[in-house]
Amino acid sequence: MQVLSTKPKIPLYRLTPDGVSNNKHFRVYNFEGDFPELSELLVPHRKDHYLLVFIRKAGNRQWIDTTSYILKDNTIYFSGPGQVIVKEEFKQLWSTGIAFTREFLSLQENASLKKLPIIKNYQHGNELLLTETDVLYVEDVLDKICKEYHQPGEWQQRMLTAYLTVLLTYLSRLYTAQYKDNKASVDKLLVKQFQAKIDEHFYQFHEVSDYASMLHITAGHLSDVVKDQSGKPAIKHIHERLIMEARRLLFHTDNSLKEISFDLGFSDASYFNRFFKRETGETPAGYRTKIREMYH
């Protein structure tokens, strides 16, 4: 099918340096009873970076993609590039956040971090519950990161990397326990690679053969492995990713159905309408009406 547009309509926020550091790829946020910026409320947006936030005290409601969270005390929330975030309530917040870009993870000394479960996030989770012991450990590492962040120098980058490695490794252990992500076999790894390719290219490619070519295997082999490991046909994974993004755009934007269909790589809006109804049992317009009545 022809791709007429691949540019998302939801604003993309880039990581910008603060007054403490000129680092364009790593930033620390601290809120001590502060209120969120009014300009950020009820504005769906994506970030071009990873964001990990330790909530000490909050209670605000926030959306990450199509999941609503009432932010819990002593809990970690995390999101990756491209996920849709919406802040809903104007309440005080006590938290520490760490943001870092793909470029930061691409540095030679950070390359191994890209493979950690919390970064890969194949289970599509965004919340980590902490025990009292976990809280003490996380607070200690965050304190070290914050102190180092405020001490620029030739060793700062290495120290931040070292502390972040410890934190992400610790949280990855919690992630695998909470989301039950088992050690991947060769076939399971192939399924994860397939899913990762879908996340990167679903705007442009909708066929199993496209992804098989990227993975240098035949479409038949990919289909067999994916069906055996996941219980679902490979094409179903592609369709589910398209539906997830369609739901994001229908809920978080006022774009027309024609615009959304083109954004998702459908050359014909009526085909997108039939596709959405076949996969979900309802029309895009019907879904938009229902979901907005439910949450507004």
Residues in the chain: 296
Query: Tens digits of per-residue pLDDT, 174-194?
Result: 999 998 755 456 788 788 889
Quick one: average pLDDT of 52-79? 89
Q: State CA 97 to chain mean position distance.
A: 15
If pLDDT is split at 50, 70 and 90, which confidence band does 296 have?
Answer: low
Domains and CATH numbers, the chain: 12-179 (2.60.120.280), 186-295 (1.10.10.60)
| Alpha carbon distance 205, 259 (integer Å) | 18
- Is residue 52 predicted with pLDDT exceeding 70? yes
H or E element that contains 101: strand 93-101
Report the pLDDT value the prediction gives residue 8, as an integer from 0 to 100.
Answer: 47
- In angstroms, the Cα distances linking 12 to 43, 92, 244 are 11, 25, 18
| Alpha carbon distance 260, 8 (integer Å) | 9
- In angstroms, the Cα distances linking 77 to 50, 56, 127, 199, 268 are 11, 11, 5, 21, 38
Quick one: average pLDDT of 70-88? 90
| Alpha carbon distance 10, 256 (integer Å) | 13
